[in-house]
Copies of this chain bind each other. A is one copy, B any other.
Amino acid sequence: MDELKLQMNMDEYLPLRDVVFNTLRQGILTGILKPGERLMEIHLADKLGVSRTPIREAIRMLELEGLVTMIPRRGAEVSRISRQDISDVLEVRLVLDSLATKLACKRITEDQKEELRSAAEEFARATESGDVTEIAKADVRFHDVILAASHNKRLIQMVNNLAERIYRYRLEYIKDAANHARLIEEHAKIMDCVIKGDEGSACIAAEIHIVNQENNMLSQVDE
Q: Is A26 an interface residue (CB 8 A)?
A: no
Q: Which residues of B contact A89 (CB under 8 A)?
A: 154
Count of identical protomers in the assembly: 2
Q: Is A176 an interface residue (CB 8 A)?
A: no
17 contacts between A and B (CB under 8 A): A17-B60, A53-B53, A56-B57, A57-B60, A61-B61, A61-B63, A64-B65, A85-B154, A88-B153, A88-B155, A91-B99, A91-B154, A92-B152, A92-B154, A92-B158, A95-B95, A95-B98
Q: How far is the CA of A17 from the CA of B56 in the complex (A)?
A: 11
Interface string of A61-95 (1 = CB under 8 A from B): 10111000000100000000000110011011001
How many chain A residues touch B (Cβ–Cβ < 8 Å)?
Answer: 28
Chain B: minimal CB distance from A18 (Å): 9
Give the interface of A toward B (CB within 8 A): 15, 17, 53, 56-57, 60-61, 63-65, 72, 84-85, 88-89, 91-92, 95-96, 98-99, 103, 152-155, 158, 162
